[in-house]
Amino acid sequence: MEALDGNAIGGMLYHVFGGEMTMAQAKCGHCRARGPLAECEVYLGGPGVVVRCRGCHNVVMVLVEVREMTCVDLGGLSELELPARR
Amino acid sequence: MAGAAVLGGLTWRVATVTAVVDETPRVRSLELEVPGWPGHAAGQHVDVRLTAEDGYRAERAYSLASAPGEPPAITVERLEDGEVSPYLTEDVRPGDALAVRGPIGGYFVWRPDDGGPLFLAAGGSGVAPMRAILRYRRNSMSDVRARLLYSSRTLEDVIYRAELDREEVVHTLTRAQPPGWTGYARRVDADLLREVAWPAEDDPLAFVCGPTSFVESVAAGLVELGYATGRIKTERFGATGGP
């Protein structure tokens, strides 16, 4: 399966977090690299969405939509800094 | 804008298709009318949702191909095994309704204040957000220099060909070239980028959009040329079988 990037789930993230999230700064819990969610690797083909660190490929986020509910696992992230809302 | 957006969330709206434009044999643009559309930035996208009679839903993201201030428009490439694109490129007619949500995205966005010079690199239908950026640059009378490197399979596959003739565009045709073609005829590589991209000393701002493999190789090539990683914005849409 080919990796996309965080832009592809901008709508889903907006829906979950209530705002624009592609510019949110994510810090990987494994390698500590930090960058915008837009630059993370995103895999869409499975039953859920898997977001990985582009540097070390650690899973930083998993999102699963079940009916109208979205379950979010942020266990692989050490920090998530929301972008300034304007 | 975001204050209202936070309260209101990102809702699905009903868009009406106002026009259908055949761009190439496999690509169509759909112009949309969306009541309550809040306006969009150049480079943003929308999600389109189709619902089958049995309730099965499929959603895909499509870049907005129109400039800020213009009605939203998307450009869709037909993927033979696609769940959404065959309907959007073959069945949709003016007057039909689609569920859309957006505009979405803040990373792959250009505003005139962001400056340049702009180096845009597009593979196939990855040219859609580049049209929004180039139109916005023109409409806003920005003096930022902009150059587009555009990789297509064949000349017939070049999207927005007439409109792009007014811009500074370098084409490469990766699969077949017409007789007498003097342009590039290969996939984008480091040598090609060295010849076409603005020199790194100009502190260019790069936007790269296309299939994943195209984006990876262009972004790596630009880093090799000395582009600052924070000045390279990337957007991948997966495999399409080309360009």
Interface residues of A toward B, Cβ cutoff 8 Å, are 2-8, 10-11, 14-15, 18-20, 22-23, 36-39, 44, 83, 85-86
Respond yes or no on whether ipTM tops 0.90. Answer: yes
pLDDT tens across A16-28, in order? 999 999 999 999 9
Same domain, B58 and B117: no
Same domain, B24 and B121: no
Same domain, B29 and B140: no
Q: Is residue B191 part of a domain?
A: yes
How confident is the model at residue B191, as a pLDDT? Answer: 96
What stretches in chain B show pLDDT beneath 70?
1-9, 239-243
How confident is the model at residue B240, as a pLDDT? Answer: 58
Same domain, B59 and B163: no
Same domain, B87 and B151: no
Chain B residues 63-122 with a CB less than 8 Å from chain A: 101-102, 104-108
Q: Strands, E, within chain B: which ranges? A: 13-24, 27-33, 45-51, 57-63, 73-77, 97-104, 118-123, 146-152, 169-173, 205-210, 232-236
pLDDT level of residue A47 (50, 70, 90 thresholds): confident
Q: Return the residue of A nearest to B61 by Cα.
A: A8
User: Which of B104, B132, B159 marks a domain boundary?
Assistant: B104
Exposure of B226 in the CB half-sphere (CA atoms within 13 A):
9
Q: Is residue B242 part of a domain?
A: no
- In sequence order, which residues have a C-beta less than 8 Å from that of residue B239 and are 6 or more positions away? A2, B211, B212, B213
B67: helix, coil or strand?
A: coil
How confident is the model at residue A45, as a pLDDT? Answer: 81
Same domain, B53 and B139: no
CATH of the domain at B11: 2.40.30.10
Q: Is residue B64 part of a domain?
A: yes
Would the CB atoms of B45 and A14 count as touching at under 8 Å? no
How confident is the model at residue A83, as a pLDDT? Answer: 81
Q: Return the residue of A nearest to B5 by Cα.
A: A19
pLDDT above 90: percentage of residues in chain A: 83
Q: Is the peptide bond before B103 cis (omega within 30 degrees of 0)?
A: yes
CATH of the domain at B232: 3.40.50.80
Residues of A within 8 A of B235 (CB-CB) are 5, 7, 38
| Confidence check: pLDDT of A14 > 70 | yes
| Confidence check: pLDDT of A1 > 90 | no
User: Which of B104, B123, B140 marks a domain boundary?
Assistant: B104
The answer to whether B4 contacts chain A (CB < 8 Å) is no
- Separation in Å, CA of B189 to nearest CA in chain A: 20
pLDDT level of residue A86 (50, 70, 90 thresholds): low
| Confidence check: pLDDT of A84 > 60 | yes
Would the CB atoms of B108 and A20 count as touching at under 8 Å? no
Q: Is residue B62 part of a domain?
A: yes
Cut 0.80: pTM above it: yes
Q: Is residue B86 part of a domain?
A: yes
Same domain, B80 and B139: no
Q: Is residue B212 part of a domain?
A: yes
Would the CB atoms of A7 and B5 count as touching at under 8 Å? no
Same domain, B230 and B127: yes
- Separation in Å, CA of A12 to nearest CA in chain B: 9
- Separation in Å, CA of A75 to nearest CA in chain B: 24
Same domain, B7 and B47: yes
Same domain, B127 and B193: yes
Q: Is residue B37 part of a domain?
A: yes
User: Which of B53, B79, B104 marks a domain boundary?
Assistant: B104
Q: Return the residue of B nearest to A38 by Cα.
A: B107
Q: Return the residue of A nearest to B102 by Cα.
A: A11
Residues of A within 8 A of B213 (CB-CB) are 2
Same domain, B126 and B220: yes
pLDDT, averaged across chain A: 93
- Count how many domains chain B has: 2
Same domain, B98 and B120: no
How confident is the model at residue B238, as a pLDDT? Answer: 72
How confident is the model at residue B2, as a pLDDT? Answer: 44
Pick among A4, A5, A7 to test the B interface (most B CBs inside 10 A): A7
B213: containing domain:
112-236
- Burial of B177 from C-beta contacts in 10 A (0-12 / 13-18 / 19+): middle
Q: Return the residue of A nearest to B239 by Cα.
A: A2
Compute the count of residue pairs across chains A and B with CB atoms less than 8 Å apart.
75
- Burial of A27 from C-beta contacts in 10 A (0-12 / 13-18 / 19+): middle
Residues of B within 8 A of A23 (CB-CB) are 106-107
